[in-house]
Structure 1
Amino acid sequence: MSDPQPAEAVKLIVSLFSGEGRLIGDAIRALSEKYGKVDFIGAPASFVYTDYYTKEFGGSLIRRLVAFDRLIRPDSLPDVKLWTNSLERRLSADGRRSVNIDPGYIARAHLLLATGKGYSHRPYLRDGIYADLTLIYRNKAFQSLPWTYPDYAGGEMIGTLTRIRDKYGLQLKGKSAEVSPAPGDLPGSGGNMLNEEMIQ
């Protein structure tokens, strides 16, 4: 019989996309106020993997990925999703969303996203929120699954998530300051919650 152990803390990540970069910046600022210092902001990238959101958001969508320095409890993911849902409503215009905000977390063994839609690979958590097992980490690499969204299965995204996972691993060892700088990484000094230049 195994003895239950406390869950290991995990690294919060959030994917955002919108037709307006300004709104993504507003959302990142609000996220930083809520969840603390952002330690990674990905460069703006075109979101071209599906036309599912075109009717709601229009074309020419911009996507950014952010990660947070402060680790969270994995069982807090539903709370994060409910809060980001409320942020989407705050930033909406004329009753329509203007920015899409998808939170998740990186653990040693996988990348998990939060969703409000259940499916065979999405076990229920609580409060209307399900867990989407998006990537697994095996043989020293993230690996996609049959249901992984194409944007998360791409090589560039896998590389970015691997780097964030490497930083997370050092955080667990108390060595986050030893991470070498790379594009997207934010300096960890000065106590600033957010580098404004990175979200312009």
Structure 2
Amino acid sequence: MKASQFSENAQLIAFVLQRGAEWNPEVIDALERTWGKILHKGKLFAFDKTPYYAPEMGEGLYRGVVSFVKVIPPETIAEEKERSNALEFSMASADNPDMRTVNIDIGYMDLDKVVLPSYKRGPFKLYAGKGVWLDMLLTYAKGVFHPTAWAFEDFKRNPYQHDLQLIREKFKKSRQ
């Protein structure tokens, strides 16, 4: 069998970090211009367990997950990471272009896991080419997404559980 016979698409998702407890319409519009129609827009949760992004983005940060109608071959996620970085910089502060107003962690979900690409290497990340490392942050088993031991704090608490289950269910139905 050819390797291409084993290829399957994955659900394109993004974890979006922004200021404010309501989805920013400009951010939603930019996401849809970049990746197409949003299929699911999750609830935003306070991103308050680490001050990591505060110096760059300010206080009152919230993160939520969205999925798109678009599905992708997982091996193309490095290209989507390039798009997400370009979008972040296009939306940067006019006063200071190095200050992002939004952080977009593009990634994919298949039936078993959630994977986010990163330009930062790490002991549990796998190299995907183009300077991109893949970080499997959540696995799916027995009806629940489980954080990996190295997942970020908000993924360990996983307030996104309900939204991720809805996204997975829609993705699973689309494959039938």
| Cross-structure match for 1:109 | 112
Matched-pair contact (CA < 8 Å) for 2:65–2:160: no
| Cross-structure match for 2:168 | 165
> Which residues in structure 2 correspond to 1:31-180 (within 5 Å)?
31-93=31-93, 94-95=96-97, 96-173=99-176
> Which residues in structure 2 correspond to 1:13-28 (within 5 Å)?
13-19=13-19, 24-28=24-28
**In 1: Cα distance, 2:129 partner to 2:43 partner:** 33
Identity of aligned residues (%): 27
Provide, for residues 9-64 of structure 1, a one-character-per-residue CA deviation record: whole Å limited to 9, x for no partner. Answer: 11011111122579943232122122221111113332112111111111111223
Change (3 A) 1:154 1:22: closer
* SS in structure 1 of the partner of residue 32 of structure 2: helix
Q: Which amino acid aligns with 1:7?
A: S
TM-score, scaled to structure 2: 0.88
Root-mean-square deviation over aligned CA pairs:
2.0
The answer to which of 162-171 and 138-147 deviates more is 138-147
The answer to which of 155-164 and 55-64 deviates more is 155-164
**In 1: Cα distance, 2:52 partner to 2:42 partner:** 23
Q: Which amino acid aligns with 2:169?
A: D
**In 1: Cα distance, 2:24 partner to 2:82 partner:** 18
Q: How far does residue 78 in structure 1 lie from its aligned partner after superposition?
A: 0.6
**In 2: Cα distance, 1:117 partner to 1:106 partner:** 20
Number of residues of Structure 1 aligned to a counterpart in Structure 2: 172
Q: How far does residue 158 in structure 1 lie from its aligned partner after superposition?
A: 1.9
Q: How far does residue 155 in structure 1 lie from its aligned partner after superposition?
A: 4.8
Unmatched tracts of structure 2, length 5 or more = none
* SS in structure 2 of the partner of residue 71 of structure 1: strand
TM-score, scaled to structure 1: 0.78
**In 2: Cα distance, 1:27 partner to 1:167 partner:** 23
Unmatched tracts of structure 1, length 5 or more = 174-200
**In 1: Cα distance, 2:22 partner to 2:143 partner:** 37
* SS in structure 2 of the partner of residue 147 of structure 1: coil
Q: Which amino acid aligns with 1:44?
A: L
* SS in structure 2 of the partner of residue 39 of structure 1: strand
